[in-house]
Amino acid sequence: MLARRGLELMYADDPVDLLFAQIEGSAKAILDDGTAVWLEFEGKNGRAYRGVGGILRGGGYLKRGEGTMQGIRQWFHDHVDRFDEIADQDASYVFFAVSKQPGAVGSQKTILTARRSMAVDRAFIAMSTPIWVEANAPVPGKKGVTAVWHHLLIAQDTGAGIVGAVRGDIYWGDDVEAAELGGRMGGPGKYWLLLPRGVAK
């Protein structure tokens, strides 16, 4: 249906990179000449999202604790011929547009701030709500090591995988360290919504 209509923005040299762009809903593409181009969410095909991490764990391909971004990337690297078999089990597809803003744009249509912007479920939390988060976060460069991470964040984004009353996804940034942190981050935590005193409970 979309062939020969000139809708392509660019071509990715790694299908796993494109897969994670789909998961994140935005991306920074580095062209052959070194130019950085930001891509933002433009729409979806309306089909239900099914995470590849869950697919791999459900099939017994990943052991407990290997469902990180790094673990998923490694599995696809080791099983290149099975990429389509796994990725095609997620019927959801994200369409992108070249962004006019130099950064990752969340569903609030503002550039996300590294380590301060959070994706939430809008059925429970309104956009722009300040959220105090208490959790443990990975220590860069130290696999398996975490440290206490207590910070104030702002609800500025959503995500198909962020569903439920106590769910959140921190935007870590767009550099190598951010990829390491975001890829390994997970587990239990607590958060508090900071609301005006006049808001009904």
Domain boundaries, the chain: 106-201
Helix, strand, coil percentages in the chain from 3-state DSSP, rounded to 5: 20, 30, 50
Q: In what order do the strands lie in the sheet with 142-157?
A: 169-171, 117-119, 142-157, 130-139, 190-193
Digitized pLDDT (tens) for each residue of the chain, 201 residues in all = 888 998 899 999 999 999 999 988 889 999 999 999 999 999 999 999 999 999 999 999 998 777 889 999 999 999 999 999 999 999 999 999 999 999 999 999 999 999 999 999 999 999 999 999 999 999 988 888 999 999 999 999 998 888 888 889 999 999 989 989 998 898 889 999 999 888 866
Q: DSSP letter for 79, please.
A: T
3 state SS of 99: coil
- Computed on alpha carbons and rounded to an integer, the radius of gyration of the chain in Å comes to 18
Per-residue pLDDT, 52: 93
Per-residue pLDDT, 79: 96
Q: Which residues pair with 95 in a beta bridge?
A: 43
**Strands 130-139 and 117-119, bridge-based pairing:** unpaired
In angstroms, the CA 49 to CA 68 distance is 18
Report the candidate in 72, 61, 157, 178 with the shortest Cα–Cα distance to residue 108.
157
CA dihedral 71, 74, 79, 81 (to 10 degrees): 110
Burial class (CB in 10 A: 0-12, 13-18, 19+), 63: exposed
Per-residue pLDDT, 201: 61
**Would you mind telling me the total number of residues written for the chain in this entry?**
201
**Residue 164 half-sphere exposure toward CB, CA atoms < 13 A:** 6
Q: What is the pTM of this model?
A: 0.82
Architecture of the domain made up of 106-201: Beta Barrel (2.40)
